[in-house]
């Protein structure tokens, strides 16, 4: 059973066209929700950690929010360099292992 | 640059062989995690070590083993390799917080 589901699988935007990526989770006892960015052939790069519903974090053009069932990664006025796969992951209970979704591949055209 | 280093960057070997992947965590981090990333499965947790001791196990095959040494670097040993073991293998480290920082990965190709 999928514990972390990301949508859409792929997203194409024009430069400056804002949008949101979704991460829904079904784990009980959420410990933390994490967003990473991954470029092809590279390791995931940490973006945000969210711990409780209502929490928001921002970094440049990215803003992550968390509810009891899902998280959104909002991208405002994206640039071509924002093109990457964005991964969502959760930890639960006393476990530190990250459970990842399959990711959203974002392409921003100039 | 996350501060986590992995060697080698690429590894090409034949079925039935054994390989060792190496990871050096960020300075001061006591926890090391290993993950496998394949096209169909995504990123999957394999195993965690904390200060030299195994702390958690995930979907790690019996043919695979790992250890963490007193200087905190870790090695992942893969034996009796099969075609399906071809993947990217990532090491991550953490220390004092929940955030895991990933290395650049080792791309393993089994021919």
Output the pLDDT for position B43.
94
Interface test with B, best of A44, A49, A88, A93 (most B CBs within 10 A): A44
Mean pLDDT taken over chain B: 96
Gap between the Cα atoms of B27 and B30, Å rounded = 9
Q: What is the pLDDT of residues B20-61, one digit of tens each?
A: 999 999 999 999 999 999 988 889 999 999 999 999 999 899
Interface test with B, best of A3, A41, A43, A85 (most B CBs within 10 A): A43
Output the pLDDT for position B37.
97
The answer, yes or no, to whether residue A1 has pLDDT greater than 70, is no
Which residues of A are less than 8 Å from B87 in CB distance? Answer: none
Take residue B35 and report the two structure tokens written for it. Answer: 């993950």
Check A45 against B2: CB less than 8 A apart: yes
Gap between the Cα atoms of A54 and A77, Å rounded = 23
In Å, how far is B42's CA from the nearest CA of chain A?
6
Q: What is the pLDDT of residues A8-45, one digit of tens each?
A: 999 999 999 999 999 999 988 899 999 999 999 999 99
Check A89 against B43: CB less than 8 A apart: yes
């Amino acid at each position: 059973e999928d514990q972390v589901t990301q949508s859409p699988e792929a997203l194409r935007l024009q430069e400056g066209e804002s949008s949101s990526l979704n991460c829904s989770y079904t784990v009980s006892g959420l410990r933390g929700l994490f967003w990473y960015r991954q470029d092809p052939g590279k390791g995931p790069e940490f973006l945000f950690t969210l711990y409780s519903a209502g929490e928001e974090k921002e970094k440049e053009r990215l803003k992550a929010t968390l509810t009891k069932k899902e998280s959104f990664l909002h991208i405002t006025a994206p640039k071509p360099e924002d093109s990457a796969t964005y991964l969502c992951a959760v930890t639960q209970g006393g476990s530190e292992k990250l459970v990842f979704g399959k990711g959203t591949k974002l392409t921003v055209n100039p | 640059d996350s501060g986590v280093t992995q060697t080698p960057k690429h590894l090409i070997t034949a079925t039935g062989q054994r390989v060792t992947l190496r990871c050096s965590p960020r300075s001061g981090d006591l926890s090391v995690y290993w993950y496998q990333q394949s096209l169909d499965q995504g990123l999957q947790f394999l195993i965690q070590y904390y200060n030299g001791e195994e702390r958690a196990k995930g979907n790690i095959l019996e043919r695979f083993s790992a250890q963490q040494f007193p200087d905190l670097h870790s090695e992942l040993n893969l034996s009796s390799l099969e075609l399906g073991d071809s993947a990217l293998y990532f090491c991550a480290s953490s220390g004092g917080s929940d955030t895991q920082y990933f290395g650049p990965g080792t791309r393993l190709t089994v021919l």
